[in-house]
Structure 1
Amino acid sequence: METQDKPPHDTPFAWIGGEEKVQALVDRFYDLMDLEPKYAELRAAHGTELERARQNLFWYLCGWLGGPPHYTDRFGHPRLRMRHMPFKIGVVERDQWLACMDEAMGDVGVDEALRARLRQAFFQTADWMRNTPG
């Protein structure tokens, strides 16, 4: 039996390092978005304050990664596409979100094998969220 493809943990949540690491990832993601001009369109889509977005992404990612279902316990099914419809999400916003998250994963030291898996999963979700051509 080959074990090289088996992840070192039962869930991505455990692999990433639990709630503390997810919180660090979310904090770094929003800090980068707020500070880096290369994420200007992404930042503009988030309005003037980021605290609610930070909290919601933390809650969502915990459950999405296989940890505690904080988001669904509070709000039910995420309905990501519906909840994001009021915001312009095109290729630019998708690509900035993905680049910002990838940079944040690197900055907080997400294991490279997990980072590669998450990159692919994030792309699938972010691409599905697009609601504006181009």
Structure 2
Amino acid sequence: MSAQTPYDFIGGEPAIRSLVDRFYFYMDILPEAQDIRSMHQTNLASAKDKLFKFLSGWLGGPNLFIEEFGHPMLRMRHFPFKIGPSERDQWMLCMNKALDEISMDPRLHTNIQSALQNLATHMINQEPSNSLETAE
């Protein structure tokens, strides 16, 4: 018998699909997420599919993304987009709201949330737009 993974504990494919649907729902409706929404195509079907496939493997389920697209190389794939702390925070706002709707052990929720926060921070490729220059 194999060990259960976060994918299993949160409910497998149906839970991941729900998480992704809710994530993009919040991205669509929250004014605070307009900057990251504008980075996406009008039709979110492709983005939803890729995020679902990525999260499936990332959470210990089937490696659907890798099977179809190869190694995620997330930072490289996101490099064409200007991602700063604000965009990271917008992404996490939507993801946190979506995560709150998935029934899971609170410790698992905290661990997933923290890991996604680290992942989102890793995607930053721009300095904050309102940073102050310091003269030396």
Please give the TM-score of this superposition, normalised by the length of structure 1. 0.89
Contact 1:28–1:108 at 8 Å: present in 2 too? no
1:20 aligns with 2:25: no
Letter of the structure 1 residue corresponding to residue 57 of structure 2:
G
1:122 aligns with 2:116: yes
Letter of the structure 2 residue corresponding to residue 14 of structure 1:
D
1:34 aligns with 2:28: yes
Runs of 4+ with >4 A deviation: none
Query: What CA distance in whole angstroms lies between the structure 2 residues aligned with 1:114 and 1:27?
Result: 20
Structure 1 or 2, whichever has the larger Rg, is 2
Deviation at 1:124, TM superposition (A): 1.0
Structure 1 stretches of 5 or more lacking a match?
1-8
Contact 2:24–2:48 at 8 Å: present in 1 too? yes
1:98 aligns with 2:59: no
Alignment of 1:44-59 (within 5 A): 44-59=38-53
Deviation at 1:100, TM superposition (A): 0.9
Query: What CA distance in whole angstroms lies between the structure 2 residues aligned with 1:107 and 1:17?
Result: 12
Contact 1:56–1:71 at 8 Å: present in 2 too? yes
Query: What CA distance in whole angstroms lies between the structure 2 residues aligned with 1:107 and 1:38?
Result: 19
Please give the TM-score of this superposition, normalised by the length of structure 2. 0.88
RMSD of aligned alpha carbons: 1.2
- Give 1:71's match in structure 2, choosing from 34, 59, 65: 65
Query: What CA distance in whole angstroms lies between the structure 1 residues aligned with 2:53 and 2:15?
Result: 13
Query: What CA distance in whole angstroms lies between the structure 2 residues aligned with 1:94 and 1:47?
Result: 18
Cα deviation 1:64-118 (Å, max 9, x = unaligned): 0000010000011001011111111110110111111010011233432211001
Query: What CA distance in whole angstroms lies between the structure 2 residues aligned with 1:133 and 1:112?
Result: 33
2:5 maps to what in 1? 11
